[in-house]
Structure 1
């Protein structure tokens, strides 16, 4: 009997759903240090796991768990992200393992700071817990990572679940819907290319024009001239002091331009009010986050900029949806800390656009999943101006900031850390994150075609946290994937290390799993 393509797809769906329902494997658990061995110098960590369990239960019950990092199962003092997860099978030295574990401990401590604040703790209460869990994480990591099976379990478990649902894909007949997805994407991209090709005057419109520039507060001479002037950690990730990172963010903060009609589309700051979430347009604000991307043998610096706009009424599915929309602009810097490439994304994860800046970048010949989209011909300028739609901040063109806008009123925006969004003040006192525990902005539902569900992206119209942004409707890539840049462009060769900063000629000794605990202490 011949089985049709449609029947095969249905059989695949039935098999996959059965697997999803019953294909559970036994969860591995870490080997814990017996209590009788936690004496003397280790007596103060004897109750640490119980403390973690109680605090995490309290955090989860209050719904204030920070969505920036993923808890490593079985190890409550470790959290990870996609960048750290990308190193788990490439730890070849003692120092690399030490830095990897230390980074995940720091992620946990960082996330807890915001969780304490949103629980309403006093400064004294938070300080006591900060010290207690610092001691606990140092002690537990130092002891438990000495056990080879524990270190291997961390390697296996330190991954980040993706934001695609296989079950949703199957229910949406993803195998059969892919041609439809490709057709919809193609039509959308053609429309965007046509819009980007229009004269800037037509895109801005006849309304009052405004351009925003960053309010500079740091000395830009703090920006290093070469990536080797930074202080890399054990994994090779560049390091700078806070003021230098702020200078980097200010140096490449984009100029913005659009039409301001006084009703919507104005740059502002997310704000909790008595009636819910809104955007305060009296405080033009752009949040920034420093990140890294792996590009061949190099780890490059990225700066993400988050623009928030007040969304006009009548553009959302839910009647009481929050009037907020957003755009992300990302700058990837080369080894000389100059713009190498830009990419942009709606804060819901849609409209992922690429803009190469340097001729050195060559497109990959073949790309798995959804091909990257370059909406604008030629190279983007090193000093860009983003032309934005007045209704929702949609990106319409990238032009040079040197191009004059004679009729535009110039305003300033404040640059604030992305982490500030984790503790927005509440009108009744206390604080609340902009994001819920799943990484969504509550109530930010917006229009999204039903066909998008076939991609496996749950609630595709909702605004999301940086760590929860799927960017492909065909494939399974995320905005914070550690290797995303090299799926689009051919990696550049790593520059030679200048002689004046060369360190010892001998390579670090090979590391065994047993020695990782030593490094974690």
Structure 2
């Protein structure tokens, strides 16, 4: 397998940016202007909002108002998708929001809106499950009754709204999903002044990572014992059948059923080759210990969910695997990153024919994002300004019917050092595959449930010292583990893991 590629040449070049030139100039007046200008932008965020052209009234509008107030008071809002202002029965992710100007025909638009209704109802079910008994008493309804009423009111409001000729025109502008960057934090932290150290840190880290990928497989250092985690055995096949069958809808977007999604997740479930030196290197199931989420390493588990992106303008299906460690710790991990809970997200992206064309990965804080593209699909990387060029230290290995993705992982810091194509191992520790939604409504042991994430999408109890050092990047709670939909992956730009055009931002595809 080749480890160094022509692609890396693009990634080694540093280019000067106007931002850095302004830093080097060091003119106080320019810095003051930047601070004031950025704060003014942050403060004017609501000026562009427009009122809904019709008023909400009636029992269903009042019901959603009461339910949302209870959810907000309890702090149990599911932040995986964003509520749509003025449409209490809809929620959207970045991909769904990006479809607003791309659809033609009433059937496709209706299917798109129905998808966002499903997202809202799914999130509300978990929010209602996570409400306290006191909140239920105030609402004077049982959980089952609240879920049933939410479904009925969602249907009623949607049917009423879509009868209006201006429905889709009013909906489109309200679908912007808030980003994970704070302009105010960047201004208060004098962000231009930190670009130089941020640049140096990124260069140093990338050089270290690239050195791993350039080593022969057998030369990677082992600090402890290599523990192999293997998935439940699955039958053969590929993604093409699931994608073709599930894309037969007005949106022409693959939307597998829960059973089909699990079948696909089993087919591609990765092998983890973990260098284990201490208990913090053991992958496990997330459980509650009091009010704190911890990892039960005696019950190995990976969580999975589907997402969507675009390849050459066409929608593509993505399969995400998320796993957790008790902590980030040890001598190999920077001390400011040490803390409870750690994890990785491995994402596989399939073209419309079911071909795997990209694996990308990150720590669950959104840190150290890495691309592993298919060499035959990439014409070139798009050179931006370093360190915002794509970091792609390895080409995608070739997978056959008998091979699946395997990841060699460093101890303590939990960084991927190599992506391999490997047969199903004859020996290893079996892990369980669990839908990601389980993390958003996890039984607490006292008959209740709670999300491991707070209402801002931050994993509870995963704070890091980094937040006091790197706040000028504009990422609140930087270093903390984050919920899907909340991964900021760049320290210098405004880039998110779930951006639908992320790949085309960094690569030109054949």
Normalising to structure 1: TM-score of the pair?
Answer: 0.83
Partner of 1:239: 255
Residues 71-220 of structure 1 aligned to structure 2 (within 5 Å): 71-120=83-132, 125-203=142-220, 205=222, 207-216=224-233, 219-220=235-236
Could you list the per-position Cα deviations for residues 310-330 of structure 1 after superposition, in whole angstroms to 9, with x for gaps in the alignment? 2266779899x9631000000
Tell me the distance in 1 between the aligned counterparts of 2:329 and 2:224: 19
Does the 8 Å contact 1:333/1:339 carry over to 2? yes
Specify whether residues 394 and 338 from structure 1 end up closer, same or farther in structure 2 by C-alpha distance, changes over 3 A only.
same
TM-align CA RMSD: 2.9
Partner of 1:371: 389
CA shift for structure 1 position 282? 0.5
Specify whether residues 231 and 126 from structure 1 end up closer, same or farther in structure 2 by C-alpha distance, changes over 3 A only.
farther
Please state if 1:482 is matched with 2:500: yes
Tell me the distance in 2 between the aligned counterparts of 1:129 and 1:255: 41
Specify whether residues 391 and 412 from structure 1 end up closer, same or farther in structure 2 by C-alpha distance, changes over 3 A only.
same
Does the 8 Å contact 1:316/1:445 carry over to 2? no
Partner of 1:421: 439
Tell me the distance in 2 between the aligned counterparts of 1:89 and 1:279: 42
Does the 8 Å contact 1:203/1:387 carry over to 2? no
Query: Helix, strand or coil for the counterpart of 1:77?
Result: strand
CA shift for structure 1 position 421? 0.6
Does the 8 Å contact 1:214/1:413 carry over to 2? yes
Specify whether residues 197 and 222 from structure 1 end up closer, same or farther in structure 2 by C-alpha distance, changes over 3 A only.
closer
CA shift for structure 1 position 178? 2.9
Query: Helix, strand or coil for the counterpart of 2:143?
Result: helix
Could you list the per-position Cα deviations for residues 340-381 of structure 1 after superposition, in whole angstroms to 9, with x for gaps in the alignment? 1100101001100010134122234344782110123x4434
Does the 8 Å contact 2:235/2:267 carry over to 1? no
Partner of 2:490: 472
Partner of 2:405: 384
Partner of 1:332: 349
The structure that has the greater radius of gyration is 1
Partner of 1:285: 301
Tell me the distance in 2 between the aligned counterparts of 1:481 and 1:27: 23
Choose which of 331, 344, 347 in structure 1 pairs with 2:361: 344
CA shift for structure 1 position 190? 0.9
Choose which of 30, 38, 43 in structure 2 pairs with 1:8: 30
Partner of 2:450: 432
Tell me the distance in 1 between the aligned counterparts of 2:294 and 2:196: 38
Does the 8 Å contact 2:382/2:505 carry over to 1? no
**After the TM superposition, which of the residue ranges 108-117 and 126-135 deviates more from structure 2?**
126-135
Query: Helix, strand or coil for the counterpart of 2:362?
Result: strand
**Structure 2 stretches of 5 or more lacking a match?**
1-24
Does the 8 Å contact 1:359/1:379 carry over to 2? no
Please state if 1:264 is matched with 2:286: no
Tell me the distance in 1 between the aligned counterparts of 2:424 and 2:304: 25
Query: Helix, strand or coil for the counterpart of 2:379?
Result: coil
Specify whether residues 445 and 399 from structure 1 end up closer, same or farther in structure 2 by C-alpha distance, changes over 3 A only.
same
Could you list the per-position Cα deviations for residues 102-151 of structure 1 after superposition, in whole angstroms to 9, with x for gaps in the alignment? 111111101011011111579x9333223322222222122223334453
Choose which of 371, 381, 390 in structure 2 pairs with 1:354: 371
Partner of 2:5: none
Partner of 1:30: 52
Choose which of 54, 74, 80 in structure 2 pairs with 1:62: 74
Tell me the distance in 2 between the aligned counterparts of 1:23 and 1:226: 42
Partner of 2:418: 397
Partner of 1:310: 326
CA shift for structure 1 position 273? 0.9
CA shift for structure 1 position 262? 4.9
**Structure 1 stretches of 5 or more lacking a match?**
36-45, 493-521
CA shift for structure 1 position 291? 1.3
Please state if 1:412 is matched with 2:430: yes
CA shift for structure 1 position 10? 1.6
Query: Helix, strand or coil for the counterpart of 2:432?
Result: strand
Does the 8 Å contact 2:287/2:295 carry over to 1? yes
Could you list the per-position Cα deviations for residues 230-251 of structure 1 after superposition, in whole angstroms to 9, with x for gaps in the alignment? 3333222113332221111111
